Amino acid sequence: RTQHSALRTNLKNHINPALWQLLTKASQEATKRGWHLYVVGGAVRDLLLAQNIQQEPLLLKDIDLVVDGFHESADAGAGVELATALQKLYPNARLDVHGAFQTAALLWHKDPELDSLWVDIATARTEFYPYPAANPEVEASSIRQDLYRRDFTINAMALRLTTPRAGELLDYFNGLIDLEARQMRVLHPNSFIEDPTRIYRGVRFAVRLGFTIESQTESYIRYAINSGVYDRTARENNKTPALSTRLKAELKLILEAPYWKRALELLDNLSALQCIHPTLKLNVELLRQLRLLERCLQRFDNSQAITHWLLRLEAIIAHLAPEFRSKVATNLQLPDDSIKRLSHFSKAMDNIAGLTECRLKSQVVGLLKKYDLETLILAALQSQRSIRRSIWQYISVWRFVQAPLNGNDLQKLGYKPGRAFKEMLDDLLAATLDGVVNDRVSAEAFLSQKYPL
Ligand code: ATP
């Protein structure tokens, strides 16, 4: 009991008082209805991790709560009912109900006290991986089963908020021991076969938290990979929620995190990049390209016009043999632009190879201007040095060059607007790029010589 109250006090001390108050109100609402309420998953893990770092406040952006019956299972709508009751107390919060899964979410948007908080409230679920009936204990059995369907032991702990025994840690699978040993241990051997995206989740948490993957868990991962995960990911593309959609979501989380490179290395060590495509390897060449991409994003994307994680993923896919790119991009349900880029990438590469023949800047610009920035960057990564340099120069300087005169100026000079204008302006721009023209006077001279009035 002392330990229970210590954990509860810890939670209270580590989180923002307004959030503590919200959890207190949620527990009161649950108790009124004869239910138990638990914080589960990531928040419990992060609280236990933060315990040793006394000064650090715990920044909980999303919290998962689970409602469970006190004497018997709570009915399926309990989570939704609790969320609705809370929304009445917090009119600022938006309530989203997901009927199919009987879960509800309360969302705050830039609230002065709760900031952008996301609270998911679910009813303890037992339907997915029923725990063997060997357990005669009735109390807390549905929360136990709810925890059993989760991924890793460190993510499968619950902290009881309601009395009696508020503050009790429910740790049926020794998550605390694994947390202390700093290791990721999966709950059951078939876990990765049931859901291969858990491999990516495991790697993401391992790298983020500086944990290792426990050796038995690693062998389950390797077993799942050898059973042909890619085929499944591709095949189950049409189901909802599709495996490939979840894989894409995991890839996004990994590729937008500062630790993306270490995560890719670990995925590669586990042969798990095969989930993307069986031939995908993080070899020296791909690593070199990804490093180049980083430098390039730092240099050219000050305005954040490019979605960095997506371009990293496109660079990875572009590294595959041409015949696989489009299918992989489609399987992962990347945005249409990305699919198009990757489908046309080998043609673009062939075309861009023509830069070696270009002697003039205007020829370089003429060749590159039909491509979007992302294609150019992807092409640069795979091109020889001289071509890469031309692409960098085009991206950083040449694409912004403008002729000293525009259409209005041409009219003022006495030229009649019409189809010829475009050709004249193109010529003028080419002459500007190539240094033949550099101000209005030289531009006018250039025009009067080439297009006498
Ligand atoms: P983060 O700090 O990255 O948000 P989290 O643990 O809260 O970490 P979520 O993706 O929000 O991660 O998932 C919440 C909880 O749901 C997890 O802690 C885990 O218990 C469970 N979970 C999520 N995805 C899966 C999955 N694919 N398989 C099993 N359990 C999962």
pLDDT digits 0-9 by tens, 23-32: 999 999 999 9
- The pLDDT of 194-214, averaged and rounded, is 96
pLDDT value, residue 350: 97
Q: Are residues 303 and 316 in the same domain?
A: yes
Task: Establish whether residue 250 lines the binding site of ligand 1, counting it when its CB lies within 6 angstroms of any ligand atom.
Answer: no
Q: Is the pLDDT of residue 126 over 80?
A: no
* Higher-pLDDT residue of 208, 134: 208
Query: pLDDT of 383-412, one tens digit each?
Result: 999 999 999 999 999 999 999 999 899 999
Tokens of 405: 């005169």
Q: What is the mean pLDDT of residues 225-250?
A: 78
DSSP per position, 192-208:
HHH-THHHHHHHHHHHH
Based on the fold, state whether residues 253 and 377 are members of the same structural domain.
no
In terms of domains, do 24 and 160 share one? Answer: yes
Q: Which of 350, 385, 402 is nearest to 371 (CA)?
A: 350
In a shared domain, residues 418 and 308: no
Indicate if 320 and 194 belong to the same structural domain.
no
CA atoms within 13 A of residue 430's CA, in its CB half-sphere: 14
Give the distance (Å) from ligand 1 centre to CA of residue 192: 14
User: So what's the pLDDT on residue 417?
Assistant: 86
Ranges of H-type helices in 132-228: 141-148, 175-180, 191-194, 197-209, 215-226
Lookup result for tokens 């993957």: 213
Please state, in angstroms and as integers, the Cα–Cα distance from residue 11 to each residue in 5, 82, 233, 347, following that order: 10, 21, 39, 57
pLDDT top residue among 156 and 75: 156
The pLDDT-based confidence of 244 (bands split at 50, 70, 90) is confident
pLDDT at 4 over 70: no
- How far is the C-alpha of 186 from the C-alpha of 199, rounded, in Å? 10
> Given this model, what pLDDT does residue 5 score?
66
At 299-333, the pLDDT tens digits run 887 667 899 999 999 999 999 999 999 999 999 99
152 and 142 assigned to the same domain? yes
- Is residue 155 in contact with ligand 1, taking CB distance under 6 Å? yes
Helix (H, G, I), strand (E, B) or coil at 429: helix
Task: Name the closest-CA residue to atom 17, ligand 1.
Answer: 41
Judge whether 412 and 421 are in contact, CB under 8 Å.
no
Rounded to whole angstroms, the Cα distance separating 232 from 196 reads: 9
Q: Does the Cβ of 197 fall within 6 Å of ligand 1?
A: yes
Q: Are residues 191 and 276 in the same domain?
A: yes
What's the token pair of residue 297? 């994003």
79, 187: one domain: no
Whether 257 is in the pocket of ligand 1, judged by its Cβ within 6 Å, is: no
Does the pLDDT at position 171 exceed 80?
yes
Q: Which residue range is the domain that position 257 belongs to?
A: 182-282
Kindly report which listed range (47-51, 145-149, 227-231, 344-348) carries the lowest average pLDDT score.
227-231
ipTM of the complex: 0.96
- In short, whether 151's Cβ falls inside 6 Å of ligand 1 is yes
pLDDT digits (tens, 9 = 90+) for 7-54: 777 788 888 889 999 999 999 999 999 899 999 999 999 989 887 666
pLDDT on residue 69: 74
The amino acid occupying position 225 is: I
Q: Are residues 150 and 257 in the same domain?
A: no
* Distance of alpha carbon 358 from alpha carbon 390, whole angstroms: 10
Above 70 in pLDDT, residue 135?
A: no
> Does any ligand 1 atom lie closer than 6 A to the CB of residue 196?
no
Asked if 290 and 312 touch (Cβ cutoff 8 Å), the reply is yes
Amino acid (1-letter code) at residue 432: T
Residue at which a domain ends, from 259, 282, 305: 282
Residues in the chain: 453
> What would the mean pLDDT of 426-436 be, rounded to a whole number?
93
Instruction: Taking residues 194-223, report their average pLDDT.
Output: 96
Mean pLDDT value across the chain: 89
Question: Which pLDDT value is given to residue 52?
Answer: 66
| CATH for 342 | 1.10.3090.10
| Closest ligand 1 atom number to CA of residue 204 | 3
CB 330 within 8 A of CB 342: no
383/296 Cα distance (integer angstroms): 14
| Ligand 1 geometric centre to CA of 246 (Å) | 12
Q: How far is the CA of 8 from the centre of ligand 1 (A)?
A: 22
Determine the atom of ligand 1 nearest the C-alpha atom of 43.
7
Question: Would you say residue 131 has pLDDT above 60?
Answer: no
* Mean per-residue pLDDT, 81-89: 95
CB distance 79 to 121 below 8 Å: yes
Going 436 to 440 to 445 to 446, the CA torsion angle's sign is positive
Last residue of a domain, one of 178, 209, 228: 178
- Using CA atoms, how far apart are residues 52 and 49, in angstroms rounded to an integer? 7
Q: Report how far residue 154's alpha carbon sits from residue 8's, in angstroms, rounded to the nearest whole number.
A: 18
Strands 62-69 and 35-40: antiparallel
**In terms of domains, do 171 and 198 share one?**
no
**Ligand 1: nearest atom to the Cα of 195:** 27
Report pLDDT for 125.
Answer: 64
Residue 239 pLDDT level (bands cut at 50, 70, 90):
low
Atom of ligand 1 at shortest distance to CA of 61? 4
pLDDT tens-digit profile of 250-293? 999 999 999 999 999 999 999 999 999 999 999 999 999 999 99
- Does residue 437 contact residue 427 with C-beta atoms inside 8 Å? no
The Å distance, Cα 138 to ligand 1 centre, comes to: 26
If one residue of 64, 119, 120, 205 were mutated to test the ligand 1 pocket, choosing by the most ligand atoms within 8 A of its CB, it would be 64
Q: Are residues 150 and 13 part of one domain?
A: yes
Residue nearest to atom 2 of ligand 1 (CA): 42
Domain count across the chain: 4
Q: Is the CB of 191 under 6 A from ligand 1?
A: no
How far is the CA of 335 from the CAs of 25, 237, 256, 332, in angstroms?
A: 42, 15, 17, 9
What is the CA(176)–ligand 1 centre distance, in A? Answer: 17
> Which of the listed residues 178, 196, 212 is the one where a domain comes to its end?
178
CA-nearest residue for atom 3, ligand 1, is 42
Distance 42 CA to ligand 1 centre (A): 6
Do 292 and 150 belong together in one domain?
Answer: no
Q: pTM value?
A: 0.89
pLDDT of the residue at 133: 40
pLDDT at position 130 over 80: no
CB of 204 shorter than 6 A to ligand 1: no
364 touches 401 (CB < 8 A): no
What pLDDT score was predicted for residue 139? 38
